[in-house]
Structure formats: C-alpha cells, structure tokens
Amino acid sequence: MKSPTIGTIHLNVANLDSMVTFYRDIIGLQEHRRENDTIFMGVGAEDLLALHHQPDYPRIAGLTGLYHFAILLPSRPDLGRSLKHLIATRTPLQGTSDHYVSEAVYLADPEGNGIEIYRDKPREDWFLDGEMQLTSTPMDYRGVLDTVQSEDVKFAGLPSGTIIGHIHLHVASVPQAETFYRDVLGMDILFNLGSATFMSYNGYHHHIGANIWAGRNLPIQPVQGLEKYVLHVGDALDNILSKVEAAEVAIQTLDDGYLIRDSSQNAIVLAK
C-alpha cells in the first residue's frame, strides 16, 4: 500500500484576501484556483491548503480543532531558505525546535492558525539505541541558515515536493483520540506524553498529533480555523470505511472522499 499522507488542510477564514497574501508572500504557496469563496493553494501539484471565506464565524479559543498543520519541505537547505525569508520579512516566529527526527520552525498566520515548517532528518537517524526519539531541543538555526548559499538570496516560494507532513489537533480526550485513530483508522501510537499523543502509519514519526493543552472536554462549534483535513489512505480505504461503519461513526459521501468526524468532532475526509 502506498504510504498514507495528509492531504489538503481546509481553513475557515475571516479575511480571505489578507490570508491569501500571507500564504503566498510569507509562506510561499501558489494560488492554484478560486472556486466561489474558496481559494486553493499549493506548490503546483495537489492542493495543500484551501481557504474558505467565512466572515460570520467567530474566532474562539478553547475549542477542539487545529493546534497546527505542518508543511514538510524536501531538504534542509529548503528549510534554510524558508527561515531566511521569514527573517527577512520580519515575520514573528513562535520558536524553533530540533525534534531528533526533524528540524522545525513555528509561527501563526494572521488569524492565529498554527503553522509548522519542517524538514525530516534521514529516517535511519531517528533512532537511539534502537528506539525512535521524539524530543524538543533548541534547533541549530545557524546551521540551517548556513545550508543556503550566499548567492541564493531570492526566495522563490516553497519547492516542488513540499507536502503536508502532519497535523496536530486539540482534542477533548487523549485516550478517546487514541482509541479512534488506532482502532478505527488503523494508526500506530508511537509516543504518549499523557497530555498529548503522536500517531502514524508505516513507522512515520507522526501523521497525527493530539493534545489537551487547551483544556479537557472542549466544546465544539463552527468557528474560524480548521474546517476539515484530507487523509489519503490508499488501498486501505475500503477496509477503513468498514471499521468506521462498525464503530457506528457517521459517513457523508463527498465528491473527493468520505467525510467522518473523530472522537472530538474534528472533520476528516478519507480518500485514496
């Protein structure tokens, strides 16, 4: 089976024009197309981001939904170019981290949606004494910046091969999230920190993160922020849909897949 991946991240936004400008000029995505009040963006292939204009939705903290979505770049020099551009544009950063498996830069868009921009280290370097590591230590940002050649000064946007590497969610309960993503969607639980869990397919360090850092048993309502995300599961789709039905989770058929909701009502579109 082709390795599952996170697909398009759908966000409800209040100011569509300013958000498109941010994701184009600061993050480096291209505008693919506009459909009514939605703009789809990416790097020329699959849509990575869909911005839906919903000015009447409020922005409310303390709900289930998006913690951050993570843009995975192909290489360390790509991360260096992105970081150099963020510095040059004086974009506020929330931090940088070396996670042993990856190096990451954190920031937020103008409406407060969390973003991680990262690169994976070689998979053989993810392990220490036979155990996969997922830590958070200071990133060698000078080393990342030094991978960019001095003449390579013009930022031309995110490179071909950029994908959504993972998504991290606010949930109402970590045990309930683990039960859903493990037993219904078939993911493995790689790390449990008590207040957060990290889950994946095929030995990746994580496709889904879920935490209760915004509080336990959070309420759910239509808001600006995450509307849904696409999860490509390849040839496992029929088997997963059978498990979804057996778990008595509602399924809505869409043109591009099957809409379900996890244990905290975060919306997922299952697709091949």
pLDDT in tens, 228-265: 999 999 999 999 999 999 999 999 999 999 999 999 99
pLDDT above 70 as % of the chain: 97
Using 50, 70 and 90 to split pLDDT, how confident is the model at 223? Answer: confident
More confident residue, 201 or 131: 201
- Identify whether the C-beta of residue 82 lies closer than 8 Å to the C-beta of residue 173: no
Tell whether the torsion through CA atoms of 31, 32, 33 and 34 is positive or negative.
negative
Q: Token pair 């000015």 is at which residue? A: 55
Average pLDDT over residues 52-71: 93
Which residues on adjacent β-strands are paired with residue 198?
191, 209
CA distances from 131 to 124, 127, 128, 193 (A): 11, 5, 5, 16
pLDDT of 1: 39
d(CA 77, CA 190): 28
Average pLDDT over residues 267-271: 98
Single pTM value for the model = 0.96
Using 50, 70 and 90 to split pLDDT, how confident is the model at 152? Answer: low
- Identify whether the C-beta of residue 82 lies closer than 8 Å to the C-beta of residue 249: no
Average pLDDT over residues 213-228: 87
Report the top-level CATH class of 5-271. alpha beta
Q: Which two tokens stand for residue 178?
A: 């683990």
pLDDT of 62: 85
pLDDT above 90 as % of the chain: 87
Buried b (16+ CB within 10 A) or exposed e, 129-161: eeeeebeeeebebeebeebbeeeeeebebbbee
Average pLDDT over residues 113-126: 96
Half-sphere exposure of residue 257: CA atoms within 13 angstroms, side-chain side: 20
Angle at 218 between CA 135 and CA 62, to 5 degrees: 75
CB proximity list for 211: less than 8 A, separation 6 or greater: 67, 168, 169, 170, 171, 174, 195, 196, 197
- Identify whether the C-beta of residue 86 lies closer than 8 Å to the C-beta of residue 55: no
Average pLDDT over residues 182-198: 96
pLDDT of 125: 92
